[in-house]
Amino acid sequence: MQSPPTTPSKRNTSPSLFFRCLDLVLPWLTPQELAMASLTCTTLCNLSKSITLRRASDASRSLEPHPIPFRNSLDQHPYAYFIYTPSSLTPSSSSSSLLRQPWGSSHYESDSDTRTETSSLRFVDESGNCASSGCECAETCEDGKEGCPCVVGFAGFDGVVFECGPSCGCRLSCGNRLTQTGIQVKLKIVRDRRKGWGLYADQFIPKGRFVCEYAGELLTTKESRLRQEMYDELSSGGHFSPALLVVREHLPSKKACLRLNIDATRIGNVSRFINHSCDGGNLSTALVRSSGALLPRLCFFASDDIKVDEELTFSYGETRLNSKGLRCFCASSCCVGILPSEQT
């Protein structure tokens, strides 16, 4: 028996094509849009639920080596919404192209292009040659087999760690690129009644181990001051958690300092969930400079052995005596009761 010819219009409206289209479109929606869509029919309601479950199972959207799940046994928030970047982005790369990012689809794959964003920035001297800001091991690195010869010469100098970078001949597996292969330790994001979300260890992390980079949008000082003002106002009403960090690197001359403004509020990685502790917490920060990269990166290392299920914290800085300051709930014995805030 001959099967009846299928008309193009019938093929275009087949339910499976319809579901596949939805599965492509829905992951681009914000939580509010997804909630609206789920009100329209049972199909969209079920699809929205599965997207929500997938979002809650990995904050990093498969952009890190291990999934980093949200855990919430307190209220109705299954996850926090933001745009994920494994490393910091310059304003030009973060402006228009990253207003949305698919998250929660059943079949999109990790796109690691963003990982190389800052490491591909280079110093170029007047003759157009690439000037190195760190080591110059060139092709002498043995891809980490023997460890990189630059490690001994540069690591730990003056509070700044030096790594191989774009101007070195070695690959990512080189022993002197410890902070460049993403978050290798297992982490989770846990909801707290008073502090909101917080970043926790999901495995034992030995003292000295690299944990994560503080990644976000790199802002000019003018833009960071404007955003800080806006964030101060929004957070005074509660229900808003800004993640704008200002870091100052004193240059060798000691006469000048480099100011890095990293805003992870809208675009960032899981470091945006690290809460403050007045006792300094269990993370220490270091600026990591890699050879051939223009800007240093702010990285967190375990300052002590960290147990599984322990919250990861660091000190946001000195507390400014400010009557409008937010209450601190770090619970450390030296807690001063107020969260430090940036003096812009």
Ligand X SMILES: C[S@@+](CC[C@H](N)C(=O)[O-])C[C@H]1O[C@@H](n2cnc3c(N)ncnc32)[C@H](O)[C@@H]1O
Residue numbers at the binding site for ligand X (CB under 6 A): 80, 194-198, 235, 241-243, 272-273, 275-276, 326, 328-330, 339
Identify the CA nearest to 91 among candidates 116, 117, 110.
117
Cβ nearer to ligand X, comparing 163 with 311: 311
| Bridge partners (DSSP) listed for residue 163 | 290
Cβ nearer to ligand X, comparing 247 with 294: 247
Least distance in angstroms from the C-beta of 242 to ligand X: 6
Q: Which residues touch 53 (CB under 8 Å, ≥6 apart)? A: 78
Cβ nearer to ligand X, comparing 256 with 331: 331
Least distance in angstroms from the C-beta of 272 to ligand X: 5
> How many angstroms separate the CA atoms of 139 and 120, rounded?
18
Least distance in angstroms from the C-beta of 155 to ligand X: 28
Least distance in angstroms from the C-beta of 271 to ligand X: 8
Q: Please say whether the beta carbons of 200 and 187 come within 8 A.
A: yes
Identify the CA nearest to 94 among candidates 102, 103, 83.
83
Cβ nearer to ligand X, comparing 204 with 329: 329
Cβ nearer to ligand X, comparing 230 with 326: 326
Cβ nearer to ligand X, comparing 162 with 316: 316
Give strand ranges (E) for the chain: 70-71, 83-84, 123-124, 130-131, 160-163, 187-192, 196-201, 210-213, 216-219, 244-250, 257-268, 275-276, 283-290, 297-302, 313-314
Least distance in angstroms from the C-beta of 168 to ligand X: 33
Q: Is 338 exposed, middle or buried (0-12, 13-18, 19+ CB in 10 A)?
A: middle
Cβ nearer to ligand X, comparing 200 with 210: 200
Cβ nearer to ligand X, comparing 181 with 241: 241
CA 33 to chain centre: 24
Q: Which residues touch 184 (CB under 8 Å, ≥6 apart)? A: 65, 66, 210
DSSP state of 244: E
Cβ nearer to ligand X, comparing 196 with 280: 196
**Helical pair 42-57 and 31-38, crossing angle rounded to 10 deg:** 150
How many other β-carbons are positioned within 10 Å of the β-carbon of residue 85? 24
Least distance in angstroms from the C-beta of 10 to ligand X: 49
List, edge to edge, every strand of the sheet that includes 283-290: 160-163, 283-290, 297-302, 210-213
For the chain, the distance separating the N- and C-terminal CA atoms, rounded to the nearest angstrom, is 79
Least distance in angstroms from the C-beta of 235 to ligand X: 5
Residue nearest ligand X, CB atom distance: 196
Least distance in angstroms from the C-beta of 344 to ligand X: 15
Least distance in angstroms from the C-beta of 332 to ligand X: 9
